[in-house]
Structure 1
Amino acid sequence: MIKAQVPAAMITAPGSGQGKSIVTAALARLHRNAGRNVRVFKHGPDYLDPMVLEVASGNPVYQLHPWMTGEDECRWRLAEAAKDADLILVEGAMGLFDGDPSSADLARLMGIPALPVIDARGMAQTFGAVALGLASFDAHLPVQQVIANRIGSSRHGDMLRESLPEGIRLLGAIPRNEAMSIPDRHLGLVQASEVADLEQRLDEAAQVLTEAGMDTLPDVVELEAEPPVKLPEWLSGWRIAVARDAAFGFIYRANLDLLQALGAKVTEFSPLSDKALPAADALWLPGGYPELHAGKLAANTAMLQAIREHHASGKPMLAECGGLMACAGQLVDKDGEAHTMLGLIPGKAEMAGRLQGLGMQSLTTKLGELRGHTYHHSRLDSPAQPDAFTRTLAGTEAEPVFCRNGLVASYFHGYFPSAPELVTAIFTGQPLEFTKPNTSAKEPDHA
């Protein structure tokens, strides 16, 4: 049993767009600059925020989600981090009570207080009402402090502080400042590696919080968990090449950890710039932004041919979301220009004007249920018949899954630790026997 105590807080908000992502990153950088060991986690299936949070904290960032990662893993990751951390921050998703499981569910399950960030623009005494509503909505979830964001003046901050009811304190009032922003695009924040001055931006944001008096630590919590059982090395000696560059970057750190724990040797390559594949028994094309680099991907004909030859030989290959788009015959970008892709699945992937898929889903086989999510702005127009479909939490069919000569491709993003045997089967090319999930068992435990 792991037991540890550490100051911790769930940085959340009444809804999306309140500024919790940059506030979490700035808090992490503030305390890191003060010499503290800061560990940050992200609630939910998000790839982009963790990239920024890793730069801000200087430590790896993992996802926590009671359904996708499982409650036991949530407890273990937090307790394990608490052994060495001086501070733990968890960035919530959407609004505090939005979703199932919500950020509030995770905070309550883990025994971590919620710390809402409230956008105070155009608001005075109503700020206190919003804070009171968040604090009283769930009697089992402590909300003892709030953060006022984007205030207009020191007097405005005083008004907000005075509006708070007894029992709720204002941790800080953050002024409107260009430093408190990070560029974004259609799938969320711009990837951290693409923001050239990210380190400077984070230091400036941390200074804004310091001047707002937000350098105090949150309350100490006690975390405990059983360590996970060691898995067999089913992939011992297996070489897996992972596409990783500006076009393919949506990778859960836990997924890489699992492949290595199973014994695989993982190497990275760039479909944008490399001309040949590394020696590999299997390939993984994860999600990302191939639509922003379609011309360069199409121009790298040597790499396209190398991947085609890998597939033609029957070697295993997993393609997720952006990887699926690259497997199509063509990729049509947002400007309507068509680019030649791998052609492993007939048809074309085309950018759409609105969101095409969103939500938690699973892929169920006789070897286990791979849990994850989907989130994409493109659509696949293909005559190919799917071999299976992922399922929503309600059990309805969602994303098509294509299996072709060792290739498994879908818009679905899987969280590998949820189904290690199934992941092993995918990367070793074993036939997959798909089944329907037991939907009654899919609801998260809100104990």
Structure 2
Amino acid sequence: MLQGEAHAALISAPGSGQGKSMVTAALARLHRNAGRTVRVFKHGPDYLDPMVQEVASGQPVYQLHPWMTGEDECRWRLAQAAQEADVILVEGSMGLFDGSPSSADLAILAGIPALPVIDAWGMAQTFGAVAQGLANYRSDLAIHEVIANRVGSPGHGKLLAESMPEGIALLGAIPRHDAMKIPDRHLGLLQAHELSGLDAQLDAAAKVLEEAGLGRLPKKVTLSAEPPTPVPEYLRGVRIAIARDDAFAFIYRANVELLQAMGAAIHFFSPLNDSVLPGCDALWLPGGYPELHAAMLSANQPMCEAITTHHHQGKPILAECGGLMSCVEHLVDGDGKRHTMLGLLPGTAKMAGKLTALGLQSLHAQQGELRGHTYHHSLLETSLQPFARTRKLAGSEAEPIYRDGALIASYFHGYFPSAPKLVANIFTGQPLQILAQ
């Protein structure tokens, strides 16, 4: 049994866009700068927020989601963190009660309080009513205090504090400040390495929070869980090359660790900058932003030829979302420019200028149920018939799964620890026995 104590809170909000990502990052940096060990987690299938949270905390960040990662894994990762961390912060997704399972569900499962960030712009006494509504919506969720964000003045903050209902405290009132702003694009925040001066900004944001009175530690909780059963070495001796650069970066840390735990040797490479593949038995082309780098990807002919040769040799490739877009014949970017891609599959991926799919999904096979999600702003036009489809838990329609030889491609992003044997079959080119819908 793993067990530890830590000051812990789930940072959430009444809805998206209220600033919880930057508040979480600034809190992490504030406590880190105070000499504390801080661990941050992210609720749900998100790649971009964890990149910023890792820079803020200086520690690895993992996704937690009672359905996608599983309840046992949620408990285990938190208990493991509590053995080494002074502070644990879990960044929620969307609004506190949005989705199923919601951020609130995770807080209740873990036994940690929620700490809502409420955008106070344009509010005075109504702020207290919002806080009271969040706190009273579910009796099994603990909310002891809230944070006011984008406060206009000290007088505004005083009004907010006076509006608080009995039993709920205002932890702090964060003023509108440039340090609390972080740019984004169509899939979310910019990647952390694309943000020049991010470290300095986080230090400045931490100072803003400290001056706003947010240095007080959240409540200390005890977190315990049974450790997971070791996974079999299904991939012993298998060399897997993983694309990782500005175009391909949507990689769950837990996915890589699962491959390594199954015995795989991991080698990262850049389709943008490298001319040869590392010695490998299988490739993983994860999601990312190929549409922003399509011209450079297309111009790197030595790498295109290396990946094409790998495929023609019958070696496995897993292409997820952006990886799928790079495998078709053409990609039409957001400016309408057509670029020649790898051509391993027939068809054209076109940026749509809007969200075209979003939701939790899973792939069901005799080897297991691979859980994950879909989230993209492009559409695929192809004559190729899918050999399988995901099942949707919520959101968009099921995603098609395409196959050509040992190439498996889809817009679906999988969370590998949910189905180790299925993942191992993909990377070794073994058959997948898909279960009927």
Q: TM-score, normalised by structure 1?
A: 0.97
Matches within 5 A, 1:411-426: 411-426=411-426
- Secondary structure at the counterpart of residue 180 of structure 2: coil
Show the 5 A alignment for 1:26-425.
26-393=26-393, 398-425=398-425
Deviation of residue 3 (structure 1)? 1.3
CA distance in 1, matches of 2:403, 2:433: 11
Q: Is the 8 A contact 1:389 1:397 kept in 2?
A: no
Q: Shift in Å at residue 5 of structure 1?
A: 1.1
> Does structure 2 retain, via aligned residues, the 8 Å contact 1:43–1:92?
yes
| DSSP-derived class of the 2:88 partner | strand
Amino acid at match of 1:347: G
Distance (whole Å) between structure 1 residues aligned to residue 356 and residue 389 of structure 2: 16
2:47/2:251 contact within 8 Å kept: yes
| Equivalence for 1:445 | none
Question: What's the CA shift string for 1:146-171, capped at 9, x where partnerless?
Answer: 00000000010000000001100000
In the alignment, the residues of structure 2 paired with residue 15 and residue 283 of structure 1 have an alpha-carbon distance, to the nearest angstrom, of 38
Quote the Cα distance in structure 2 between the aligned partners of 1:108 and 1:397.
29
Instruction: Decide whether the 8 Å contact of 1:8 with 1:87 is kept in 2.
Output: yes
Displacement after TM superposition at 1:394 (Å): 6.2
Percent of matched pairs sharing the same residue: 69
CA drift at 1:428: 0.2
Whole-Å Cα distance in 1 between the matches of residues 2 and 268 of structure 2? 33
Structure-1 separation of matches of 2:326 and 2:414:
18
| Two-structure CA RMSD over aligned residues (Å) | 1.0
Cα deviations across residues 312-371 of structure 1 (Å, max 9, x unaligned)? 000000000000000010010011100010101101000002111100000011100000
Structure 1: segments with no counterpart, 5+ residues: 438-447
Q: Deviations over 1:272-294 (max 9, x none)?
A: 00000000000000000000000
For the 8 Å contact 2:350–2:378, the answer to whether it is kept is yes
Show structure 1 runs of 4+ deviating over 3 A.
394-397
SS at match of 1:25: helix
Indicate the residue corresponding to 1:6 in structure 2: 6
Q: Cα offset for 1:234?
A: 1.2
SS at match of 2:271: coil
State the alpha-carbon separation in 2 of the partners of residues 119 and 311 from structure 1. Answer: 50
Distance 2:112 2:244 in 1: 34
Please give the per-residue CA displacement for 1:85-117, whole angstroms capped at 9, x wherever unaligned.
000000000000000000000000110100000
Cα displacement (A) at 1:395: 11
Q: Quote the residue 1:444 is aligned against.
A: none
Report the TM-score, using the length of structure 2 for normalisation.
0.99
Structure 2 distance, partners of 1:286, 1:317, is 10
Aligned to 1:18: 18
Structure 2: distance between partners of 1:310 and 1:394: 36
Conserved? CA contact 2:358–2:395, under 8 Å: no
Give secondary structure in 2 for the equivalent of 1:345: coil
What SS does the corresponding residue of 1:398 show, helix, strand or coil?
coil
- The one-letter code of the counterpart of 1:214 is L
How far the C-alpha of 1:436 sits from its partner, in A, is: 3.5
3-state secondary structure, aligned to 1:70: helix
**Taking structure 1 as reference, are residues 396 and 128 closer, same or farther at Cα in structure 2, changes over 3 Å only?**
closer
Q: Report the 3-state secondary structure (helix = DSSP H, G, I; strand = E; otherwise coil) of the residue aligned with 1:69.
A: helix
**2:116 aligned counterpart, secondary structure:** strand
| Secondary structure of 1:122's aligned partner | coil
